[in-house]
Amino acid sequence: MTPLLLHRRDTCRLCGSRRLITIIELAPTPPAEWYFPPDAETSTKETFPLELSYCQDCSHVQLLHVLDPVQLFANYFYESNTSPGLDQHFTESAHYLTGLLGLKSNDLIVDIGSNDGLLLSKFDMKGLRVVGIEPSYNLAEKCRQKNIPIVHDFLSNQSVNEIIKNFGYPRLITANNVFAHNDDLLGMAQNVRKLMSRDSVFVFEVSSLLAMISGKVFDWIYHEHLSYHSLTSLIPFLKSVGLVVWMVQNIDTKGGSLRVFTSRDDCVTPKDPLLSVVSQLQREKANGLHEFSRYVSFADEIERSRHEVRLELSKAKDRGRKIIGYGASATTTTLIHHFGLIDFLDFLVDDNPNRWGCLVPGTSLEVKSPSSLANLVEYDLLVTAWRFKNSIISGNLNTLRGNKVRVIVPLPSLEVLTIL
């Protein structure tokens, strides 16, 4: 395949400062979602740096090494419907936002990075007009199969003009877990502002930096996620392009996310920041997100966890036990490479059949169906999808019980559970 292009930026993605300092250098990995069969032409073992940096001027946390987005997202392999709990979350989100904003049947909803159309389908079921912007060919095609109008493009001046011309101005613009994917966040925010009328509301969800740091969710760090957001750095950035943050909510999706509500600064009914905004800023300050020393502590915590997990797995291998990983996702790629787990694991299992028969990116570890655990006895199950440990254990308890399985949960602190 054509090698992925790579460049390293030297300015902050939000404020343009050059006063950037490295928080942690993780082990280099291939693109985290590139799960392919062993003989696939698109598979790669080429790895790229994962260096997390902190801006000393606006406190934004980000990756500076950038992979070519056209190659990275032309065929993207994450689908919303495969993420645990996301279908229910989007159902609830569509209901809540429709009520909060008083959306009516003629109102238009635009979803940036609409993926497989899961969120838009929820608004469509409510009789609202919808259109998605999606750069991945395979995902845009899934939207079309659901009869969801789609603009096959990145958010750009051209795609904005196309939507305004063909559909009009949206009442609601959404962007879920895509605001972290764009190297040119200034251009993206400016295009959102251009797409908005004075009556539009822009609501986006991003993984919470506070949740990541406090919960040790370091495996959120991979090449698609260029930014790790806090309200502390987002508010002045959005203000610079004429957008005002007037509400924020902490939600459980993706291990902890922020839902941010914004309007144009000249909107018809100017909105003063609600208590939620003030409270979130206070929480972020109390947890030291504006101080580099907090990130030094975070890096130290990850290194201690790495040592503890490797030591536990080394003991298991010395006893001759098989070690099976449970969960094959983008976060798994980061976890396996940075913790150096390749030689400990025999294979992985995952609930998503699209993963079966594929290899973890950059390794020869195969992903199999959870049914492959049925005939195994006296083995260790490493929950690589550790944020979902409760649902994984409870959902597979009948398979695990009676087989003398030890369940190892690597994070946020090492747990070893024996299931007799």
313 token code pair? 């797995």
For 63-106, the pLDDT digits (tens) are 999 998 777 765 555 555 556 577 899 899 999 999 999 999 99
Average pLDDT, the chain: 91
Which candidate, 171, 174, 170, 159, places its Cα nearest to that of 206? 174
Measure the CA–CA gap between 97 and 123, rounded to whole angstroms.
Answer: 10
CA distance 45 to 36: 11
Tokens matching residue 299: 């890096």
How far apart are the C-alpha atoms of 338 and 333, rounded to whole Å? 8
- The model carries a pTM of 0.91
Cα dihedral 232, 261, 209, 19 in deg (nearest 10)? -40
Question: Which helix (H) or strand (E) element contains residue 162?
Answer: helix 157-167
Once rounded to an integer, what is the mean pLDDT over residues 294-305?
Answer: 97
* CA gap 293, 391 in Å, rounded: 35
State both tokens at 371: 């049914």
Q: What is the CATH number of domain 319-419?
A: 3.40.50.720
Nearest C-alpha neighbor of 242 from the set 205, 289, 285, 200: 200
CA-CA-CA-CA dihedral for 17, 21, 22, 23, to nearest 10: -100
For residues 88 and 100, give the distance between their C-alpha atoms in angstroms, rounded to a whole number: 18
User: pLDDT per residue over 347-376, tens digit each?
Assistant: 999 999 989 999 999 999 999 999 999 989
Place of tokens 């979902």: 388
